[in-house]
Amino acid sequence: MESSIILDGKSVRLTEPRCVAEAIRMGQNIILLDSRSFVEYNTSHINRAVNIGGNRAVKKKFFKYEVPVDLLLAKLVNVVDTNELKLTPIIVYDQCVEDLGNLRPDCFLHCVLLQLLRKYSPIFVLRGGFLGFRAVYPDLCWESSEKLAGEDIAEYQASDCGLEQILDQCLSAVGIEVSPSPSPSSSATSAAASSQSSSGSTSLSLKTFSLTESGAGNPGRQQPSIGDIKSSASTPFSPESPRPSPILPHVVLGSQADAVSAATCQQYGITHVINVSVDGAAPSHIPADRFFRIPVHDNYTDIMIPFFKDAFTFIDNAKAVRGKVLIHCSAGISRSPTLAIAYLMYSGRMTMREAYKEQNPKDYCFLIGLLSGLDKSRCCQPPQKCVKW
């Protein structure tokens, strides 16, 4: 697995959750960008992160225009001199990206990286995304008090997300006039403040920062170009409703609507379904022996523990017959991605799983301890070699 990619002659590298956690705890200067939607960010995010995903209109403008990211970041992190940004590591994360080679050009994270690389290099991407980080460091994540048990997202006001107004101001500053989408008025100042985590300030001062690379890899091996990769492990942006997101060739993340749609299942080759919720009927077009339910509410991932072994066996059996499993819950933000991350780790696809490569894969209880954020999992992280920027 490659630890970095070369895009337009510039570098994008993976960094480990341990390194970001250390930077947060030590108060080191970083710019931590959450590329997920504001709905997801407003529900839970890593401390000190600012949201750059916004709403659908923000994503459309990122794809359409050459965004002055220096001006945008300066507003988001309250910096007057944009030159300060060049001295600060920029780390981006999405929901659960694991392999840079699996980013497609129509993926929003891919678009964000392209925009950032016009001004900055290298850019770091958090391995495992938000879900991978939260699994190991739940104490370094903020969660909305408005999020109730059984819900995947927290309630929010449309005016809470002012990123589009900030983006329009930055585009206007470089001569790009856009028509703002109808939305409640809010000032850029308050919008910038609302896009930041209440758990920590992102105001910058000049300090030395070191970050762990996920491995230099083989220096003699040519790095793949991001445009040459065709598979997708990160949700591509679509102006329409979200579509199923392939995680592995035989595992797809989706929604209840995807599961009950025979046309969608046929389009994506879905033959098996796992429903990680107490709600939602089994799809009529899926045979009973190809449907598996984990009847849990959100915020109760510990209750998932007894089901993981059977769920992994279910997925492996589907793979053995060349099937494809759709995993879904309600909004696809918490429960189903947790199961997907667990399976990635169990099957040896995620780096965090490599720490346990000498263990019997059937010893999944320790894996669940990792996902539940038990402190003992932290001592099992492999030592990382840190390099200076």
Q: Is residue 98 part of a domain?
A: yes
Residues 121 and 262 in one domain: no
pLDDT: which is higher, 9 or 144: 144
- pLDDT for 205 beyond 90: no
pLDDT higher at 288 or 236: 288
> Do 26 and 83 have their domain in common?
yes
Give yes or no: residues 301 and 183 share one domain. no
Of 114, 85, 71, nearest to 202 (Cα)? 85
Number of domains in the chain: 2
Report yes or no on 115 lying in a domain.
yes
* Residue 154's CATH number: 3.40.250.10
- Exposure b/e, 258-289, CB count within 10 A at least 16 = b: bbbbeebbeebebbbbbbbbeebebbeebeee
**What mean pLDDT comes out for the span 320-343?**
80
Amino acid occupying residue 139: D
* In a domain? residue 381: no
| Range from 22-26, 145-149, 309-313, 335-339 carrying the lowest mean pLDDT | 145-149
Together in a domain, 67 and 105: yes
Check residue 331 and give its pLDDT.
53
Q: How confident is the model at residue 367 (pLDDT cuts 50, 70, 90)?
A: very low
> What is the rounded CA–CA span in Å between residue 293 and residue 295?
6
- Section 248-271 average pLDDT: 89
Indicate the pTM of the whole model.
0.52
The reported pLDDT for the residue numbered 92 is 96
User: What pLDDT shows up at residue 262?
Assistant: 93
CATH number reported for the structural domain that contains residue 279 in this entry: 3.90.190.10
Average pLDDT over residues 339-344: 79
Q: Are residues 193 and 261 in the same domain?
A: no
Tokens representing 264?
């969608």
Mean pLDDT of the chain: 72
- The whole domain housing 368 covers 241-376
Residue 119 lies in a domain: yes
Output the pLDDT for position 27.
84
Q: Check whether 218 has a pLDDT greater than 50.
A: no
257 with 196, same domain: the answer is: no
Query: Alpha helix (H) ranges present in the chain?
Result: 17-25, 38-43, 56-64, 69-76, 108-117, 129-136, 163-173, 188-194, 256-260, 262-268, 305-320, 335-346, 351-354, 364-371
Q: Are residues 203 and 328 in the same domain?
A: no
Do residues 189 and 332 share a domain?
no
Choose the weakest-confidence range: 200-209, 246-255, 319-328. 200-209
Confidence band, pLDDT 50/70/90 cuts, at residue 8:
low
Could you tell me if residue 76 is inside a domain? yes
CA dihedral 61, 62, 66, 67 (to 10 degrees): 100
pLDDT value at residue 208: 32
pLDDT of res. 111: 92
Locus of tokens 């059984």: 150
53 CB-contact burial (10 Å; exposed 0-12 / middle 13-18 / buried 19+): buried
**Does 54 share its domain with 148?**
yes
CA distance 315 to 249: 12
Contact 52, 164 (CB under 8 A): no
- Kindly report which listed range (22-36, 89-103, 357-371) carries the lowest average pLDDT score: 357-371
Instruction: Establish if 29 belongs to a structural domain.
Output: yes
At 144-187, the pLDDT tens digits run 876 544 444 445 454 445 888 899 999 989 888 776 555 444 44
Task: Determine, yes or no, domain membership for 293.
Answer: yes
Do 212 and 245 fall within a single domain? no
Q: Do 187 and 307 have their domain in common?
A: no
Same domain? 249 vs 362: yes
Query: What mean pLDDT comes out for the span 252-263?
Result: 89
- Give the largest CA-CA distance in the chain: 61
Q: Return the higher-pLDDT residue of 249 and 286.
A: 286
Query: Is 101 exposed, middle or buried (CB count within 10 Å of its CB: 0-12, 13-18, 19+)?
Result: middle
Q: Would you state the pLDDT for residue 156?
A: 47
In a domain, 310, yes or no: yes
pLDDT of residue 140: 92
